[in-house]
Amino acid sequence: MGYVAIKGGGVAIKGAQDTLEYMRCAQGDTGSPLDMKTIEHQLRFLHGRVLSEGGLYHPELASLAVKQSLGDSLEAAFALRAYRSTKPRLLETPTLDTSNMRIVRRISAAFKDIIGGQTLGATTDYALRLMRTELLDESPEAFRQVAQQWFKDQGDNAIPDTFPKVVDSLRADGLLAEVDTAAQQQPFDITREPMIFPVPRSAALATMARGETGSLLAIAYSNMRGYGDVHPTVAELRVGYVPVMLPHPISGELIEAGEVLMTECEVVAMYESDDEDDKPTFSLGYGACFGHNEVKAIAMSILDRSLQKGMKDGPTNPSEDPEFVLLHVDGIDSMGFCTHYKMPHYVTFQSDMDRLRTTQEKAQQAEEQA
């Protein structure tokens, strides 16, 4: 009797787990295990992606997820998201005000100078992508020296805690529509309610906030290249720590429970003028996510703008179609389904062969008769 792949599944799974675990530890005597803080700091951007795509702000578990998935961002986000499924919701925050963000980076492409100033902060934007061969064999001493030196150079020139937002000054000048207070109703909760289209903008924002960076980028890029016409200008991109306010369980008074690292982007797009009575204004696209992930925040803000257009006038290309965008940007959904094609499908394939053979026979009979 030949080998039948279906039998002995339990043994095979155990073997696969053991092999993967060996690979993680294959350095043997010369290796040392990654600790959680190393991942959080030295793999900062990967860590941020996992926080945001996992949809759960838990830096330590995000590090663990990166470690156990051997750095696969989709797998790591997945582990975090699945952990989230087991946790009941205890409290809800009110709408958080990102103008209270403790800024680590803040730029505007719209104005040369902005109130509070541009803060370039930590970015690779202007770095030369040359191989830094000195890091190949970095000594722990040299590594520690960097942080010591950095603090020594900082001095006492304290930066303010908060900055006003660029879009507020555009609003003050009448260039941007006032905040739609009617839209500030209870946001759609994609983790508790199924999305039945058409969905409100809050459902789209929530879906994209935990969307997969590459998927958001690909669809936003299609819009940038010409399958759409958002033509964005980055009014403000900020990275920093947003205080999370929670009602005190007894007094109900808002207290700061902690802060979350976030990236936020507001793009201003060309104005709309089809409401005849209103004076035309620029339109706004909004993107925000956990962690430091600027590509994601910008891509999301462009898609927010294109989706608003699609919701209003009907989609004319993929990036304006809410069903197309929102049902295809979740990394957990798409990677899971992609992976599942590796599972056995031989019952359905048997069925496929049966149909093909029947139609082949019929075709042959028809040929013989002719």
Nearest distance, CB of residue 149 and another protein, angstroms: 41
Which residue, 278 or 361, has its beta carbon nearer to another protein?
Answer: 361
Q: Minimum Å distance from CB 354 to another protein?
A: 4
Q: How far is the CB of 339 from another protein (least distance, A)?
A: 5
Q: Which residues bind another protein (CB under 8 A)?
A: 1-4, 6-10, 12-13, 78-79, 81-82, 84-89, 190-198, 323, 332-341, 343-348, 350-355, 358-359, 362-363, 366
Q: Which residues in 130-162 are b (16+ Cβ under 10 Å) and which e? A: eeeeeeeeeeeeeeeeeeeeeeeeeeeeeeeee
The answer for 321, left when phi > 0, alpha when psi is -120 to 50, beta otherwise, is: beta
Of the two residues 184 and 358, which places its CB atom closer to another protein in the complex?
A: 358
Taking the complex as a whole, the smallest distance from the CB of residue 105 to another protein amounts, in Å, to 31
The amino acid that residue 184 corresponds to is: Q
248 vs 267: CA distance, rounded Å: 35
Q: What angle, 0 to 180 degrees and rounded to 10, lies between the N-to-C axes of helices 44-54 and 213-225?
A: 90
Shortest spacing between CB 285 and another protein, in angstroms:
23
Which helix (H) or strand (E) segment holds residue 289: the answer is strand 281-290
Closest CB to another protein among residues 27, 86: 86
DSSP 209-269: HTS-HHHHHHHHHHHHHTSS----EEEEEEEEEEEEEEE-TTT--EEEEEEEEEEEEEEEE
For residue 168, the one-letter residue type is D
Give least dist CB 361 to another protein, A.
9
Cis amide bond preceding 198, omega within 30: yes
Please say which residue, 202 or 334, places its beta carbon nearer to another protein. Answer: 334
